[in-house]
Structure 1
């Protein structure tokens, strides 16, 4: 298959590219600067989002487009950074749709990144793909607008999937290495109340779910990319400490994180219990459905 990937050099994108090329698919990575990147076997870099770039003229007939582009949400949410987070996602998705519109042979599917932030936050409500937002905040608004822009691909006759990512667990990037640090120092413990839900997912399942969505015609619309067994923070921390053979005892008050992180602290102090109802109905089998197995795999790979 010929697959175009935006954000292909990022955290999820690089892992996805490696997996797809191992299956002998050809990946076309859309990048702002192709001049400093070297093409490899089954990987071609194509410049986009520059004034003179016309990626549609360099791309072959595509089977799928996977849109992962967007500025990081892990920097402090100043007004400027919030604008960058939203603008980067909307502009890149508009450009994806423009490229698709220009292609004579349309791809069969667009898998567009989103996040479980779409649902808002709650410590009591359980969310599936059929759920409406429970409350509204900055991330919820970003996800709503992002998916709204991606939905325009459906008008072009392209099957469109909104991959709503949960907390992605990996040994090198994402939130988990930061969460592991205090446990390494024997200072791990509950964060905030400990009652907030973490809807987590192993990176391997993220990659395989994206591929599953790309290859399975029945998959369309929202798809929660989360493991079937979310955990409250208190239990998550206990299992992390146990897996690392470290104590779970030193609480971090919510006020400390709010002072240190500002509005961004919502990523850690609030949460939502999100279940992957649709992937299970579509027949996807998780490699890591339970947190203990996921943590054991990740932590053992660091030794």
Structure 2
């Protein structure tokens, strides 16, 4: 297949490209030289680098698009300027891709586009799947809802659209876990507040295997929760991580302190999202790491 990929130098994108070596990939990146260095051991001669979609008049000749581009949502406080950067980095490129699909006489057969479980907002301990309809005014939901609305404009008889409602992706070379490791290694890790909020986590390997599954499953379309079938509470996650690192688990972070440090973006760690990946499992997708202990054991083992 000939694929157009955005966000290929990100945490998920780098791992995904390792699973696409049998395909011809055109990678959209802001800096082609930097991307080439980042992917030195992944690029087997199957990747072409472009720095702008203006090089393309349409997407004829492409079999699929995988759109993972976007400013990291948790790296900085959500100032008005940062919120605009987060939105523009997702909405603008997705709009351009949809316009190119519409300009094509033979468009790609599938458009796989990013989103996040932030779409759902705080659902407390309620167990739910992709059928849950949500209308909220919080920032994370607004970002995801409009991002999905834009992507769905590409849906047609010729092009199916799949939306990746991604949870907390765990891996050994970046992502959320990289930010957590130091305090836990120092014996300072612990739950946030009472730790009762649910974390919709997924191992990086299952994340990319799931994307490939959507790519290859011709009837797949609509939103998909990319998270383990076994969500855990923040307290369970924290205790399991400390155990795998062989460190004490006696401290905790008060919610008010987190909110003081992170502002509005603290909701990413405080909100409870007990999402089920119903559509993936109904497709027959088998998770390599369905349980948090085996997932963290695998990741911590690589780090050591």
Alignment TM class, shorter chain as reference = over 0.9
Q: Is the 8 A contact 1:2 1:60 kept in 2?
A: no
Q: Which residue number in structure 2 is paired with residue 188 of structure 1? A: 189
Q: Is the 8 A contact 1:224 1:274 kept in 2?
A: yes
CA distance in 2, matches of 1:191, 1:84: 28
In the TM superposition, 1:15-30 aligns within 5 A as 15-21=15-21, 24-30=22-28
Q: Which residue number in structure 1 is paired with residue 97 of structure 2? A: 96
Q: Which residue number in structure 1 is paired with residue 40 of structure 2? A: none
Displacement of 1:191 after TM fit?
1.1
Q: Which residue number in structure 2 is paired with residue 31 of structure 1? A: 29
In the TM superposition, 1:268-283 aligns within 5 A as 268-283=269-284
In the TM superposition, 1:77-156 aligns within 5 A as 77-133=78-134, 135-155=136-156
Displacement of 1:36 after TM fit?
5.8
CA distance in 2, matches of 1:265, 1:41: 42
Q: Is the 8 A contact 1:101 1:156 kept in 2?
A: no
Displacement of 1:269 after TM fit?
1.5
CA distance in 1, matches of 2:164, 2:16: 14
Residues 198 and 90 (structure 1 numbering): CA distance in 2 closer, same or farther, change over 3 Å?
same
Q: Is the 8 A contact 1:171 1:298 kept in 2?
A: yes
CA distance in 2, matches of 1:47, 1:87: 17
Residues 134 and 271 (structure 1 numbering): CA distance in 2 closer, same or farther, change over 3 Å?
farther
Residues 156 and 34 (structure 1 numbering): CA distance in 2 closer, same or farther, change over 3 Å?
farther
Q: Which residue number in structure 2 is paired with residue 261 of structure 1? A: 262
CA offsets, 1:159-199, max 9 Å, x none? 00011000000112111122222110011111122011100
CA distance in 1, matches of 2:262, 2:216: 39
In the TM superposition, 1:56-95 aligns within 5 A as 56=57, 61-74=61-74, 75-95=76-96
CA offsets, 1:64-113, max 9 Å, x none? 10011111112111010001111221101011112222333211100001
CA offsets, 1:218-255, max 9 Å, x none? 21101110010000001111111111111111111111
CA distance in 2, matches of 1:193, 1:270: 12
CA distance in 1, matches of 2:179, 2:47: 31
Structure 2 residue runs of 5 or longer lacking an equivalent are 37-42
Q: Which residue number in structure 1 is paired with residue 39 of structure 2? A: none
Q: Which residue number in structure 2 is paired with residue 177 of structure 1? A: 178
Residues 105 and 279 (structure 1 numbering): CA distance in 2 closer, same or farther, change over 3 Å?
same
Displacement of 1:35 after TM fit?
6.0
Structure 1 residue runs of 5 or longer lacking an equivalent are none
Q: Is the 8 A contact 1:122 1:134 kept in 2?
A: no
Give the match's secondary structure for 1:141. helix
Runs of 4+ in 1 over 3 A off after TM superposition: 33-40
Displacement of 1:136 after TM fit?
3.6
Q: Is the 8 A contact 1:71 1:84 kept in 2?
A: yes
Q: Is the 8 A contact 1:199 1:230 kept in 2?
A: yes
Deviates more, 1:202-211 or 1:263-272: 263-272
Q: Which residue number in structure 2 is paired with residue 248 of structure 1? A: 249
Q: Is the 8 A contact 1:46 1:55 kept in 2?
A: no
Aligned residues: 297
Deviates more, 1:213-222 or 1:149-158: 149-158
The TM-score normalised by the length of structure 1 is: 0.93
Q: Which residue number in structure 2 is paired with residue 232 of structure 1? A: 233
Aligned Cα RMSD in Å?
1.7
CA distance in 2, matches of 1:37, 1:195: 40
CA distance in 2, matches of 1:150, 1:84: 18
Give the match's secondary structure for 2:32. coil
CA distance in 1, matches of 2:234, 2:216: 34
Q: Which residue number in structure 1 is paired with residue 46 of structure 2? A: 42
Q: Which residue number in structure 1 is paired with residue 13 of structure 2? A: 13
